[in-house]
Structure 1
Amino acid sequence: MSDEVKKLVDGFHKFRTKYFVKDTELYEHLNTEGQSPKTLVVGCSDSRVDPALLMQAKPGDIFVIRNVANLVPPYEKGGGFHGVSSAIEFAVNGLKVESIIVLGHEQCGGINALLTGDYNNHSDSFISSWMKIAIEAKYEVLREMPSAPLKDQLNSCAKKSVLISMENLMSFPFIQARMKDQTLKIYGWFFELDGGRMLEFDYEQRKFVEI
């Protein structure tokens, strides 16, 4: 067993001591009553951006979907497997979450691949195919700021991709119904690794502002 895996094993034992030995009430409740999170978070797979850690959430507080670049595909019935869409359906229809947060971040590898085309020469690249969900964000950035430094282009593209995912959420009929009933709200958040700020998309100002 590698040293890194041993660290994870030690971490599990600390977790077990905290929740199953010293303070059993939380997991006894979750075990008997089941989960009932009120918030769905669509986050990135990036190891630096763990939604539960960033928000200091306890077990059972949030339902999390993580994928490359925290993307939400548009609603569609056909095609291949729909892991993200099925998880969204379960959260909205099964768990009856009241909020959905699309959580983007700086220095996203998926956004870098989208903007620079690192994987475009690989016809069998899963990443290249997946990132096409946010292709309009790339086009907008190249139109609006073609001469800007790459870092600024990447941050802008990452924020625009959050908005695309928010729009794609609205393409799901069951989300449309919940929004119409005013029982579900959608938020766009953006975590800045440089400085540790969390931004939220302000619908009125049409821009991201610090929370």
Structure 2
Amino acid sequence: MSAFPQHLLEGYRTFTSQRLPTEQSRYRELAERGQSPEVMVIGCCDSRVSPEVIFDAGPGELFVVRNVANLVPIYQPDSGAHGVSAALEYAVSVLRVKHIVVLGHAQCGGIRAFIDNNAPLSPGDFIGKWMAMFIKPGEQVGRRDHETMQDFTVRIEKAAVFRSLENLMTFPFVRTPVERGEISLHGAYFGVAEGSLFVLDQAAKKFRGVENDGRRVTDGE
């Protein structure tokens, strides 16, 4: 077996010498009392899009589940094992989160794989099967028409956020507290290159840029 990555060990030592001393009491409190985050974030497993970094969250503040293209499947109470559904069930039924955020992002590899629709990367075609749930039977996301590939890709990346929010409401244990006003659903989109954040205005069905250092980011569709 090869050696554990050295840069991870160095990162841990930096954590214990610089960050841990300022947060030690918080970690002890979390260990003794357990976690009680108010926010669940469903994000992509892309290494460039860390919710804890983007939202500058401390330990215990966010309950995070990440997968390819930040997708939420529809509610399927069958005999299968469903990782996202299990995390969602725990967040809502045990932790009693008040907010669920679906965080999409630019340059998403999963979305690009969905658009390109190339040959499977392995006999299992796990990415292909996962991304297939993005589309309902008989549905089309829309043609590219006169859009550039970049604009088309961004539109599909944002459509994935809408679809995940829609699928969240197929879960009875999510829909009921949402209708009671006990849980709020939110959509967001992160621009990797600029570090920009867009939050979904659900009434207008548009993503609005969030101010950064007093500068308002251009709104996105």
Cα distance change, pair 22–210 in 1 and its aligned pair in 2 (3 A): closer
In 2: Cα distance, 1:135 partner to 1:180 partner: 25
> Which structure carries more helix by proportion?
1
**C-alpha distance after superposition, 1:95-114 (max 9, x if no partner):** 00000000000000000010
Q: How far did residue 22 of structure 1 move?
A: 5.2
**Structure 2 residue ranges without an equivalent (≥5):** 211-221
**C-alpha distance after superposition, 1:30-58 (max 9, x if no partner):** 11111010000000000000110111111
Alignment partner, residue 113 of structure 2: 113
CA RMSD of aligned residues (A): 2.0
Alignment partner, residue 142 of structure 2: 141
* One-letter code aligned to 1:149: T
Cα distance change, pair 91–121 in 1 and its aligned pair in 2 (3 A): closer
In 2: Cα distance, 1:190 partner to 1:79 partner: 33
Aligned length: 207
Cα distance change, pair 193–141 in 1 and its aligned pair in 2 (3 A): farther
Q: How far did residue 201 of structure 1 move?
A: 1.1
**C-alpha distance after superposition, 1:121-172 (max 9, x if no partner):** 8662000000012125x93231xx3231111111100000100000000000
In 1: Cα distance, 2:193 partner to 2:119 partner: 26
Aligned positions of 1:183-202 closer than 5 A: 183-202=182-201
Query: Which aligned runs of 4 or more in structure 1 are off by greater than 6 angstroms?
Result: none
In 2: Cα distance, 1:8 partner to 1:121 partner: 28
**C-alpha distance after superposition, 1:66-99 (max 9, x if no partner):** 0000000000112521011000000010000000
Cα distance change, pair 79–123 in 1 and its aligned pair in 2 (3 A): farther
Bigger mean CA offset, 121-130 vs 26-35:
121-130
Q: How far did residue 209 of structure 1 move?
A: 0.9
Per the normalisation by structure 2, the TM-score is: 0.87
SS of the aligned residue for 1:139 comes to: coil
Q: Percent sequence identity over matched residues?
A: 36
**Structure 1 residue ranges without an equivalent (≥5):** none
Q: How far did residue 118 of structure 1 move?
A: 2.1
Alignment partner, residue 162 of structure 1: 161
SS of the aligned residue for 1:89 comes to: helix
Q: How far did residue 193 of structure 1 move?
A: 1.6
Q: How far did residue 19 of structure 1 move?
A: 5.2
In 2: Cα distance, 1:52 partner to 1:121 partner: 30
Aligned positions of 1:42-57 closer than 5 A: 42-57=42-57
Q: Report if the CA contact (8 A) 1:19-1:27 is conserved.
A: no
Q: Report if the CA contact (8 A) 1:104-1:189 is conserved.
A: yes
